[in-house]
Chains A and B, each alone.
Chain A
Amino acid sequence: MSSKDVVIRSTGISKSIFIISLVIVAAASGVAGYFVPVLLKQSSSVITINGAGSSFVFPLMSAINANYTASNPNVQVNYQSAGSGAGITDFSTRIVDFGATDAPLTGGSLGQRANITRDTGTPLTIPESIGAVAIAFNVKGVATGLKLNATVAAMIFQGNITQWNDPIIANMNSGVTLPSSTITVVHRSDSSGTSFIFSSWLNSSNAHYPWKLKVSKTPNWAGSTQATYLSLPQNVGVAGGVQQNPNTIGYVELNYVLSTTPQMYYASVLNGAGSAYVLPSLTTSTNAVNNSTASLPTGDGDWSKVTLLNAPGGSSYSIVSFTYVLVFKELSVVPGMTQAKAQAFVNYLWFLVHSGQDQATKLSFVALPFAVVTIDEATIRTITYNSATLHS
């Protein structure tokens, strides 16, 4: 017994030295990681602004924020894609400095906006970018030219139509040879602002064929049993699901169909005027915003009724929506806010809606039109810290 112990002990020494050294290396790198940035930059003077929310705007925000830090090295704006719902939740519980969401705060006396106003203070809604949802498909022999309207799309996505050569689709697409294959619907498996925008548009379908699966970030896909569904996480999952599987149809943010290689095919959609089928593009999405008759409220107003869907104008794309940044009008309600941080924050917001928009086009995002920037300017001017305005 004891001799066996001695053997174990004697071989154990070098091993434990090795393990101890591994622990020391891990701990040392942790400590080094702690101190290196502190030594490199005077961390006391670095202001960190945290935001969370919409996954869709993440690439744009990432580019804008990197750009902003390059010219303002002592301000770091950290935006992370936690999802639109998380953007609203984390903003309203003030665990981030700002939220971003594809769906506005819900209105009404029981809505999110009323709750936040009651609990904390007035939330400001700042349109920051414009999202357009494209209907991507993968049907053998059909490259471009598939046309759809909200009613037919709703019938496809909730399973009233299950074959590609269904007469209803064929009537709308004369000249296009549609196969007699079963349609596979590809949709988001995660909770998503993109699903919210798309289901809002599907909800504008003909009263004879109403959209039954709810307007939601998680539409009730389980409520339909007819269609074949393919449920994948994230825009990129849906884009991949459409590309890799024949006879599929799905919905993704416009910048995915524009930036994904190999080329994806996407449908043109009946415009709001009912006069023509319009392909989604940066231009037709901008048209939708410019031609929209929606009256835009002020930043502290209720944006839940604002819709850019089915905007008038011959060349306006129909499935378009704002994405918003949410900030508090009185910044002192946010924990850890200081005068300097509030000032830096407002300067950043100003940058976001002005120079920041320069990043949009090359990343296949729609830049904010002038009219919207003007509203945002007015909103940013109303932001205060301890009742003092920060930008004039």
Chain B
Amino acid sequence: MAVSEEARPKQGKTPARARLASLRFPRRFSCDDVFEASSIIFAGVIVLIIVVTSVFLVRGSVPVLESFGTGFFTGKNWIAAAGSESYSALPFVLGTLVTSAIAVAVGVPLSMGIAIFLAEMAPWSVRNPLSRVIELLAAVPSIVYGLWGLFVFRLWIRDYLETPISNYVGSFPVFQGTPLGLDFLTAGLILAIMIIPTVSSISNDVMMAVPASQREAAYSIGATRWEVVRTGVLGYARSGIFGATILGLGRAVGETMAVTMIIGNIPALPASFFQHGATMASVIANEFSEADPGSLHLSALIGIGLTLFLFALEINVFAQLMVWRVLKVRGGSVE
């Protein structure tokens, strides 16, 4: 049934067809050339946007990099008060890493469970409806997550998670501090919820792309459903699932509004889960419009934007390598 990429004739490249076309239409001027050129121009808009962004971010962050050098990435302080200005991206980079790590640590196993359940175990009749309901989590606007996080979620976390942890193991350094529900942990957990639809739906697709022969082989030697998943499916889908995780990470790194509303926005180096912090996106959201034009403060914020841009770039390289390759195989085999 499959017509693979290779088998499909490539239009315009087959010499016979090109000759045929040129025979039929005397080549005065070719609308096709215009068409191809214009589609290239539109595609070029994407390149243009990326180039403009890079130039803008690099140029904007030159002043702060000149003033602080590598100190911009290794310093500890972010003080915008006039007279004692000191800027370092480190607290925000670490803040982003910590919240995203929590998001991945909590969100990915949950998403895996969902994906495995929906792809391999659930009764056929509920698979589609359930996966669509889960995907709705991605549709909730981030400002609504923020409101819900502030009014509802943080109180749950404070009362049912942080307070008990604090009571039992509050002496561990990473659980020190009064649990108030506005901290790295809550921000990370809300991000975990927000990445579930991304990770679970891609993992689901990746698992569905595993050839049926893998499962059949396992079933034929008497494996249970779980053993089929573990031996036949997971191993095969591993790199795709890893890619899905990376894409979830990308989501978590860039999320702004919900995190800004609940993380507390204190530029402190993370030491405890129960501590206020800030992420790269949250500090930009918080301070960008307040910074004086032409000031070092503004340059520092753009420098953080540049760092965030580089994060997005790297995450994408990984995701490209991992996930789309797997799905491309599937795309070819389905049609």
* Residues of chain A having any CB pair with chain B under 8 Å: 1, 4, 82-86, 88-90, 92-93, 106, 112, 182, 184, 189-191, 214-223, 228-233, 237, 244-245
Instruction: Report whether B80 and A218 are in contact in the complex, using a CB–CB cutoff of 8 Å.
Output: yes
B292 with A217: CB separation less than 8 A:
no
8 residue pairs of the A-B complex, CB under 8 angstroms, read A89-B290, A191-B286, A214-B84, A216-B81, A217-B290, A222-B267, A230-B180, A245-B180
| B178 located at the interface, meaning its Cβ lies under 8 Å from any Cβ of chain A in the complex | yes
A86 lies within 8 A of B290 (CB): yes
Q: Interface range on chain B: under 10, 10 to 19, 20 to 34, or 35 or more?
A: 20 to 34
Least CB distance from B110 to A in Å reads: 28
* Chain B interface, DSSP helix/strand/loop, else mixed: loop
Question: Is B261 positioned at the interface, with any CB of A under 8 Å from its CB?
Answer: yes
- A221 near B290 with CB under 8 A, answer no
> CB-defined interface of B80-103 with A at 8 Å, one 1/0 digit per residue?
111010000001000000000000
Assembly CA distance A84 to B84 (angstroms): 20
A220:B81 contact, CB within 8 angstroms: yes
Contacts of B178 in A (CB 8 A): 182, 184, 228
Q: Which of B1, B264, B290 contacts A231 (CB 8 A)?
A: B264
Q: What's the Cα separation between A231 and B1 when bound, in Å? A: 60
Known contacts A216-B80, A218-B81; is-contact A189 B265 (Cβ 8 Å) = yes
Q: A93 contacts which of B78, B265, B268, B293 (Cβ < 8 Å)?
A: B293
Q: Does B5 contact A (CB under 8 A)?
A: no
A190→B265 contact, CB < 8 A: yes
Task: Say yes or no: is B61 at the interface (Cβ < 8 Å to chain A).
Answer: no
B279 to chain A, nearest CB (A): 12
Interface pairs A-B: 8 shortest CB-CB: A85-B290, A231-B264, A214-B81, A216-B81, A86-B289, A222-B268, A189-B265, A191-B290
Contact (A231, B286) CB under 8 Å given A89-B293, A214-B79: no
Within 8 A of A (CB), among B146-201: 150, 155, 177-178, 180, 182
Please give me the residue from chain B that is nearest to A230 by CB atom. Answer: B180
- Whether A88 and B81, one on each chain, are in contact in the complex, defined by CB atoms closer than 8 angstroms, is no
B292 touches which of A4, A88, A223, A228 (Cβ 8 Å):
A88
Closest to B260 in A: A233
Q: Which one of A182, A216, A222 has the highest number of Cβ atoms from chain B below 10 Å of its Cβ?
A: A222
CA distance A199 to B325 in the complex (A): 55
**A106 to chain B: which residues have CB within 8 Å?**
82
Residue in A closest to B282 when the chains form the complex, CB atoms: A189
If A88-B292, A237-B150 touch, whether A231 touches B276 (CB-CB below 8 Å) is yes
A82 proximity list for chain B (CB < 8 A): 289
Complex alpha-carbon distance, A237 and B276, angstroms: 15
Q: Hey, which chain B residues are within 8 Å of A93, CB to CB?
A: 293
Give the Cβ gap from A232 to chain B, nearest Cβ, in Å. Answer: 7
Q: Is B134 among interface residues, defined by CB-CB distance under 8 A?
A: no
Known: A106-B82, A229-B276, A231-B276. A221 touches B292 (CB 8 A): no
Distance in angstroms between the alpha carbons of A189 and B101 in the assembled complex: 23
Contacting residue for B177 out of A215, A220, A228, CB 8 A? A228
| Set of chain B residues within 8 Å of A191, measured between Cβ atoms | 286-287, 290
Beta-carbon contact of A218 and B287 below 8 Å: yes
Q: How far is the CA of A65 from the CA of B77 in the complex (A)?
A: 42
How far is B292's CA from A4's CA once the two chains are assembled, in angstroms? 61
- List of B residues within 8 angstroms of A1 by Cβ: 1, 3
Q: Known A-B contacts: A92-B292, A184-B178, A232-B264. Give 13 more (CB < 8 A).
A: A83-B289, A84-B290, A88-B292, A182-B178, A189-B264, A190-B286, A215-B81, A219-B81, A221-B266, A231-B266, A232-B150, A233-B261, A233-B265
Chain B residue at smallest Cβ distance from A92: B293
Q: Select B266's contact among A83, A214, A222, beta carbons within 8 Å.
A: A222
Most buried by A among B78, B155, B263, B290: B290
> B182 — which chain A residues lie within 8 A by C-beta?
230-232
For residue A4, which residues in chain B have a CB less than 8 angstroms away from its CB? 1
| Chain A residues near B77 (CB-CB < 8 A) | 222
**CB-nearest residue of chain B to A213:** B81
Q: How many Å from the CB of A234 to the closest CB on chain B? A: 9
Cross-chain contact A89 with B286 (CB below 8 angstroms): no
- Chain B, 216-255, contact with A by CB distance < 8 Å: what is the 0/1 string? 0000000000000000000000000000000000000000
Rounded to whole Å, the gap between the CB of B280 and the closest CB of chain A is 16
Instruction: Type the 1/0 row for B97-130, where 1 means its CB is closer than 8 Å to any CB of A.
Output: 0000000000000000000000000000000000
- The answer, yes or no, to whether B291 is at the interface (CB within 8 Å) is yes
Given contacts A228-B177, A231-B264, contact A83 B292 (CB under 8 A): no
CA distance A231 to B260 in the complex (A): 11
- For B81, what are the chain A residues with a Cβ–Cβ distance below 8 Å? 214-216, 218-220
State in angstroms the CA–CA spacing of A184 and B177 once bound together.
11
Q: A-facing mask of B277-298, CB < 8 A → 1, else 0? A: 0000000001101111100000
* A93 to B292 Cα, complex, angstroms: 10
Complex Cα spacing A221 to B3, Å: 63
- List of A residues within 8 angstroms of B265 by Cβ: 189-190, 231, 233
